[in-house]
Amino acid sequence: MLGAAGCGSSSGSDDSASAGTAGSAISAKRCAENKAAGKITYLSGYQFQSSVSILEYIAAAKLGYFKDLCLTVDLKPGSGDTAQNTKLLAGGQATVSAISEQDLIQAQANGIDIKGISSYSNAGLDILMTNKDITKLTQLDGKVVGHKGYVPATVEAMLVKAGVKWDSLKLVKEGYDPSVLPRKQGGLEALTGFISNEPNQLKAAGKDVTVWKPVDYKIPSSIGAMAVNPAFAKAHPHAVEDILRAALHAYEYCSSSEAHITECVGYAAKLSGPTYDKKLNATIWKTETQVVKENPTSGQPLGGIDTDNVGQLVDMLHQFKIVPSSVTAAKAEGWFDTSFVKDIYSGGKLVWPAP
């Protein structure tokens, strides 16, 4: 099914030149446990873009961190279709995948059984861009707003909270070229996007736009959220812990210096091919990790899930009739397991290596 989805396989950790001896970081007992988990398929959110929840998993493989913990991880690039990822995860064709908290709640509401296991921030990547002549969001009343198929709920919630007359907007589907905004093509006044992508592309092209972020309007979201196949998590809880442990260890490595950013992005480039834009992808990583740094999850270490945020997401999804009223905050909180991240920290610090 992964093949049919257009997701090619890539090398895991065993071919890494920098990988250590298998199991060198853990006890023989835990090593045997993790080996018994078998092949673990990691499915990215979108190709091997250098986003959080993607680059650190690539780096964990290439730096040998998975191998150190006796984990066999196969990296597969997702197509960007979140609904497809949730189905592959629930069906067992993928073991772990980058799934936002909001998308997980929607999947569960539709009977797709997956379990949330981590998140980096309650902020989100979805944003709205306008030209500089728009200084208040209410100036968009009656104007043309572009999107990539739909306006993300967080962006809609931001506009509504800002007092925009939602029904007055002329919503049009645009492609993936953000230059249509500064050109005001078709009367376009605003365009949805991702904070780490389109604004950076436009800046590189010398085009200045204003970026409106839902987090500034206290709209709930998530960055770097991960989900797991529930049956795998139940059978191999220590393997799930150690997948997160290795990824978080790699996150620290890839964020620690310019040299390490270049190194980690280089790993993604090798998996992606000659057309991979290293400069843009390095900027994507820097932008997203900065968002995480500026918007830490309250009371949680990096990767910890804020259950209050889950409840706020449910309220937002109810507001826009995205999930039925039968999906309560309490029910949604049960779709997330906070124990995996909790168990890999001690005194607020990631435990490396594993016990």
Q: Is 9's pLDDT higher than 70?
A: no
Which whole number is the average pLDDT over 18-26?
A: 64
Which whole number is the average pLDDT over 254-267?
A: 98
pLDDT band (50, 70, 90) for residue 22: low
Q: Is 13's pLDDT higher than 50?
A: no
Interacting residues of 37 by C-beta distance below 8 A, sequence separation 6+: 71, 72, 232, 235, 236, 239
Per-residue model confidence (pLDDT) at position 17:
37
Per-residue model confidence (pLDDT) at position 176:
85
Per-residue model confidence (pLDDT) at position 175:
83
Residue 69, both tokens:
């913990």
What gap in Å lies between CA 269 and CA 328, rounded to an integer? 42
Q: pLDDT > 70: what percent of the chain?
A: 94
Encode pLDDT of 145-177 as tens digits: 999 998 999 999 999 999 999 999 999 999 889
Which whole number is the average pLDDT over 302-326?
A: 97
pLDDT band (50, 70, 90) for residue 288: very high
Encode pLDDT of 119-138 as tens digits: 999 999 999 999 999 999 99
Residues in the chain: 355
Q: Is 5's pLDDT higher than 50?
A: no
pLDDT band (50, 70, 90) for residue 302: very high
Q: Is 299's pLDDT higher than 80?
A: yes
pLDDT band (50, 70, 90) for residue 4: very low
The answer to whether 20 and 68 are in contact (CB under 8 A) is: yes
Least confident residue range of 21-25, 172-176, 245-249: 21-25
Per-residue model confidence (pLDDT) at position 324:
97
Please name each of the domains of the chain with its CATH number: 28-123+222-350 (3.40.190.10), 126-217 (3.40.190.10)
Instruction: Considering only residues 31 and 7, tell me which one the structure prediction assigns the higher pLDDT.
Output: 31
Beta bridge partners of 350: 345
Which whole number is the average pLDDT over 313-332?
A: 97
Residue 45, both tokens:
């959110």
Which whole number is the average pLDDT over 5-20?
A: 41
Secondary structure class of 351 (helix, strand, coil): coil
Q: Is 18's pLDDT higher than 90?
A: no
Residue 257, both tokens:
């210096």
- pTM (predicted TM-score): 0.91
User: Which of 307, 303, 305 minimizes the C-alpha distance to 246?
Assistant: 303
pLDDT band (50, 70, 90) for residue 216: very high
Mean per-residue pLDDT of the chain: 93
What gap in Å lies between CA 53 and CA 61, rounded to an integer? 13
Per-residue model confidence (pLDDT) at position 21:
62
User: Which of 176, 156, 174, 175 minimizes the C-alpha distance to 166?
Assistant: 156
What gap in Å lies between CA 349 and CA 303, rounded to an integer? 12
Q: Is 1's pLDDT higher than 60?
A: no
Per-residue model confidence (pLDDT) at position 25:
78
Residue 341, both tokens:
């991240």
Per-residue model confidence (pLDDT) at position 228:
98
Q: Is 7's pLDDT higher than 70?
A: no
Q: Is 82's pLDDT higher than 80?
A: yes
Secondary structure class of 81 (helix, strand, coil): coil
What gap in Å lies between CA 308 and CA 316, rounded to an integer? 13
Which whole number is the average pLDDT over 211-239?
A: 97
